[in-house]
Amino acid sequence: MKLNELTIKEAKGGLKSKKFSSVELTKACLEQIKKHNKDLNAFITVTEKEALDSARKADDLASQDQVLEAKSLLGIPIALKDLFSTKGIKTTAASNVLKDYIPQYDAAVVKKIKDAGAIIIGKTNCDAWAHGSSGENSDFGPTKNPWDKEYVPGGSSSGSAVSVASDMCIASTGTDTGGSIRLPASFNNVVGLKPTYGRVSRYGIIAMASSLDSIGHFTKTVEDSALFFNVTAGQDKMDATTLPNPVEDFTKDLNKGIKGLKIGIPKEFVTSDLDNEAKEKFEETVKTFANLGAEIIEISLPYTEYGIAAYYIIQPSEVSSNLARYDGIRYGNDRSYFGDEAKRRIMLGTFTLSSGYYDAYYKKAMAVRTLIIKDFNDAFQKVDALISPVCPTLPWKLGEKINDPIKMYMSDVLTVTANLAGIPGLSLPIGFIDGLPVGMQILGPQLSEVKLFQIGYAYEQATQWRKQKPAL
C-alpha cells in the first residue's frame, strides 16, 4: 500500500515503529497531489515547502517517545478547508474577494492541529463562502468527483472530501452549516463528522451562519474520525459559544457493538421523494443494523418538511450580516467581486431581516426552529440515535442543478434540521450505485459523539466499503 493511502491510525503506527518517516509520508501525499490535483481541483493552495519543513521537524521530535505520545497527530499530513485562517498562508474562502488575503493569525482549531504535530499540506477548494451543496460555486473552478469526474463531489467542503477520498492527505477539515460535511462525505466514500454545535471552536474560521456553523472533519475510517476529534474538541476562550464540557477519549466505546441499542428511522426522511436506488441502498443498511443486534424503531419528526424554509431564512440572514465586513478596506477586494450565489444569499438575508419583513420571515423561522429542536428531543427520548440517508438523490452531473437555486437547496432537505438543532451527525459510506458512492448519517443528541462513533464503527467493520478506491 502506498504511504498516502494509510489511515491516521496506520500512519501513527508506522511512524512510531520507524517503518517510514514523516517526510516520506508527506512526500507521498504531495506526489499524489501533483499527479491528480490538476484533474480534480481539490486544492487551492499546496504548502509544499512548509509541509516538508514541518515534516523534517516532526521526524526530529518523533525520535523522542514522550513527544510522540503527547502529540497525537505528529507527522501526519492534513488538509484544511480554505475557510480556516492560517497565519502567513493565503486563505481565500474560494472567493475572488479574498484571493490574495493572508491572515495574521491561525484559527483556534488550526493551532490545535499544529500543536498536535500535524503537517498542514494545503488549503482545499470549496463552494465560495461555503455557499453550496455541489462544489460548483467556487471562484477557482469546481472540484470533481474522483469516482467519476463528470459528477459533482458534493459541497460545500468539496475539496476536503475529495482530498481524503483520493488519498492526497490522511485527513482534512471541513465545516457543516446545512450538510456541508455530511453530503460530500457521502458522495466520496469517506467518513465525515459534523460535531455538536459549540463542541469545536469557530474562532478563525470564516463565518457562514454563526448559529449553525459546525467545525468538523473528513477521515478514511470511523476510528480516525474519533482520533481527530480528540484533538479538535474543547472549549475555547476566543469563542463564547463553545461548550464547557470536558473532552473525553472519543475512541473509548468503539468496540462496544450495537446490540440492544435503539436506532430510529425518521419516516419523513425516507419518503417517496428519495431516489429509488438510494432508498434501496438505505434499506439494505437498515437490515445490516438489525443483523448487528440493534432494535429498529420508526420515528416521526413531523416538522421536517419545514426545515429547508426555516434554514434558508435563518442561514442567509446570518450570512448577510457576516459578509458585511468584506468591503475591501482592511483586506481583500470590494463587494463587486462576490459571485452570484453569494450575492443571492446576501440579498435574501438582507430582505428577511429588513423592516416590515423580520417578523414574517426571520422571527417565524426562529420559532419553527424551536419546533424542529423539539422533534429531535422527543425522538431521542425513545431511541439512542437516528439513521437516515444523507441526500435524497444520488450525486448529479456537473452543471445539472447549477441554474436552479431551489433545486440545489433541496439537496439539503435531510441535513439542515440537524444544524438547526445543533446536534451531531456522522456520515459514512453504505455502498455504491453505478460506481458512485452512497452514504448515510447517524444523528444523536447533543454531545453524543462517543455513541455515534460506537454505532458507526460497528457498521463499518461489518461492511468495509472504505476498502474500495476510486480509479484515478
Partner 1 sequence: MKINVVHVAKLANLPLKKDEEKKFEKQLSEILNYFETLKEVDTKNVETTSQVTELENVVRDDESTLSLSQEEALSNVKNQHDGLFKVKAILTE
Partner 2 sequence: MNNEPLTINYEPVIGLEVHVELKTKSKMFCSCSADYFGQKPNTHTCPVCLGSPGALPVPNGKAIDWCVMIGLALNCKIANFSKFDRKNYFYPDLPKGYQISQYDQPFCLKGFITLSNGKKIGITRVHMEEDTAKLTHQGENSLIDFNRSGVPLVEIVTEPDFENAKEVIEYLKKLQQIVRYLDVSDADMEKGNMRLEPNISLREITMNNELLTINNLPKYKVEVKNINSFRFAEKAIEYEIRRQTEILSENKTPVQETRGWDEDKQKTVSQRIKEEANDYRYFPEPDIPPIRFTQNQIRQLADQMPELPDAKLARLIKEYNLSKYDAEILTREKEMTDYFEEAVKVGKTFKINPKQIANTVINKKIDMNNILPAELVKNIVNFKKTDDIDENKLQEITDKVIKENQKAINDYKSGKVQVIGFLIGKVKQHFPTADSNQIKTALEKKLK
Would you tell me which residues interact with partner 2 (CB under 8 A)? 83-85, 91, 93, 98, 101, 103-105, 107, 202-207, 209-211, 237-241, 317-318, 320-321, 323-327, 329-331, 350, 353-355, 358, 362
Q: Are 60 and 21 in contact (CB under 8 A)?
A: no
Is residue 128 a contact residue for partner 1 (CB under 8 A)?
Answer: no
∠ Cα 162 241 357 (to 5°): 90
| Binding pattern for the stretch 74-113 against partner 1, x by CB under 8 A and - elsewhere | --------------------------xxx-x---------
Identify the three-state secondary structure at position 388.
strand
The CB-of-242 to partner 1 minimum distance in angstroms stands at 8
In the residue annotation, 81 being an active-site residue is answered as yes
Whether 199 contacts 103, CB under 8 Å: no
Give the one entry of partner 1, partner 2, none that residue 288 binds, where binding means its C-beta sits below a cut-off of 5 to 8 angstroms depending on kind. none
Q: Residues 54, 85, 134, 156: which is the catalytic one?
A: 156
The residues near 445 (Cβ < 8 Å, ≥ 6 apart) are: 376, 377, 380, 423
* 3-class DSSP assignment, residue 124: strand
- 373 contributes a contact to partner 1 by CB under 8 A: yes
Contact (Cβ atoms closer than 8 angstroms) between residue 39 and residue 250 = no
Residue with cell 479538535: 232
CA distances from 389 to 134, 203, 212, 315, 431 (A): 17, 31, 21, 23, 12
Residue 93 touches which member of partner 1, partner 2, none, C-beta under 5-8 Å by kind = partner 2
The CB-of-15 to partner 1 minimum distance in angstroms stands at: 35
**C-alpha cell at position 53:** 519543513
Minimum distance from residue 408 beta carbon to partner 1 (Å):
11
Known catalytic membership, residue 156: yes
Of 48, 60, 49, 67, the closest CA to residue 22 belongs to 60
Active site residue 180: yes
Q: Which is nearer to partner 2, 82 or 449 (CB)?
A: 82
Shortest distance, position 85 Cβ to partner 2, whole Å: 5
Please identify, among the stretches 50-58, 143-151, 256-264, 330-338, the one whose residues bind partner 1 according to the rule CB under 8 A. 330-338
Structure-block grid coordinates of residue 121: 499540506
Closest CA to 448 of 415, 409, 422, 413: 422
Q: The dihedral of CA 169, 211, 130, 435: what is its sign?
A: positive
Q: Is 89 strand, coil or helix?
A: strand
C-alpha cell at position 34: 501533483
Contacts of 45 (CB under 8 A, 6+ apart): 82, 89, 90, 92, 122, 123
Whichever of 241 and 461 has its CB closer to partner 1, that residue is 241
Shortest Å distance, C-beta 333 to partner 2: 13
Q: Among partner 2, partner 1, none, what does residue 303 contact (CB within 5–8 Å per kind)?
A: partner 1
In the complex with partner 2, the residue whose CB is nearer, 236 or 384, is: 236
Interface pattern 380-409 for partner 1 (x via CB under 8 A): -------------------------xx--x
- CA separation for the pair 221, 451 (Å, rounded): 15
> Under rule CB under 8 A, which residues in 155-214 are in contact with partner 1?
197-198, 211
Rounded Cα–Cα distance for residues 128 and 283 (Å): 35
Least distance in angstroms from the C-beta of 373 to partner 1: 6
Binding site for partner 1 (CB under 8 A): 100-102, 104, 197-198, 211, 237, 240-241, 243, 303, 305-306, 308-310, 312-313, 320, 324, 327, 329-332, 335-336, 338, 343-344, 346-348, 350-351, 354, 361, 363-371, 373, 405-406, 409, 420-422, 446
- Residues marked as catalytic: 81, 156, 180
